[in-house]
Structure 1
């Protein structure tokens, strides 16, 4: 019975550690930089500027949640910073395009028309 409990506790601790450091970074300095950029003095004012609920800012500051793609776009819209700059502030790598996937070398095949459908013939009632 005690081994089951310790296995469950170990699993919960692993999940909590993964959830706490899901992005692997500290969001506090990024939030402080946003506050300086937007010239606000509190987390509540920052949440109003970014149009997110105040608990989201609190959870970000305490590393309970990660920065979502929607929030990245919202920060970009409000501050005018590039998304890559925000990712750099978070300590996240900037995604590089995959090799061989540019518009110059993508071959577009012509779209063939769909074959004509056969029409149903009217059945005669005998």
Structure 2
């Protein structure tokens, strides 16, 4: 299934890194990410769906009640895009902020780059 870059960006936030249920998270990963997808973040580089599933689950386990909220519309350029977001407990001030950059191939995410930002 092929998705728009904007859809991939928003669903990556909510359905991959924001999903607490392991089965739903894995289904989203299989649908949205290429088999050889790479996730880059300050603590490491994670290659393939299995490794991204593992790290997304580990991240969720540290703060299962946090929600990701886009603070700007997704932006698309060529085969890539970005989305700025904040995360925290619903009803409270955000605890942190970031920007996800992705590249795509055949309507799926081929790479994800996570940058942490200053809180707005």
Higher relative contact order (CA closer than 8 Å, sequence separation 6+): 2
Computing the radius of gyration from Cα coordinates, the structure with the larger value is: 1
| TM superposition score normalised by structure 1 | 0.24
| TM superposition score normalised by structure 2 | 0.25
Q: Which of the two has greater strand per residue?
A: 2
